[in-house]
């Protein structure tokens, strides 16, 4: 069985995190597609939340909050990538 080298593992994870922070990984194309898909899912959650809120449902408010948070997060990520 191979010995686990913690220093080597930490260096590999740290390098991965640095690349992700710089926008190198995932590629901009993949990151943009993910943000667009997340934005669409967020809009769906907002619409479902609005419908649920009209029926005075607790899940409607939760869905609405999750949708708004998702939309804001993905819009900020798309703006960050376009800089």
Give the tens place of pLDDT for each residue, 20-35: 777 666 677 888 888 9
Q: Nearest CA to 41 among 65, 59, 61, 67?
A: 67
Residues 44-75: tens digit of each pLDDT: 999 999 999 898 888 899 999 999 999 999 99
Distance CA 35, CA 47 (A): 18
For the cut 70, the answer to whether the pLDDT of residue 10 exceeds it is yes
Measured in residues, the chain has a length of 83
pLDDT of residue 23: 62
What residue segments make up the domains of the chain, in order of their start? Answer: 27-81
């Amino acid at each position: 069985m191979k010995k686990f080298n913690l220093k080597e593992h930490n260096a590999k994870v740290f390098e991965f995190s640095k690349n992700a922070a710089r926008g190198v990984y995932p590629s901009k194309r993949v990151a943009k597609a993910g943000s667009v898909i997340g934005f669409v899912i967020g809009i769906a959650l907002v619409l479902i939340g609005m419908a649920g809120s009209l029926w005075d449902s607790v899940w409607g408010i939760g869905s609405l909050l999750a949708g708004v948070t998702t939309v804001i997060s993905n819009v900020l990520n798309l703006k960050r990538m376009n800089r």
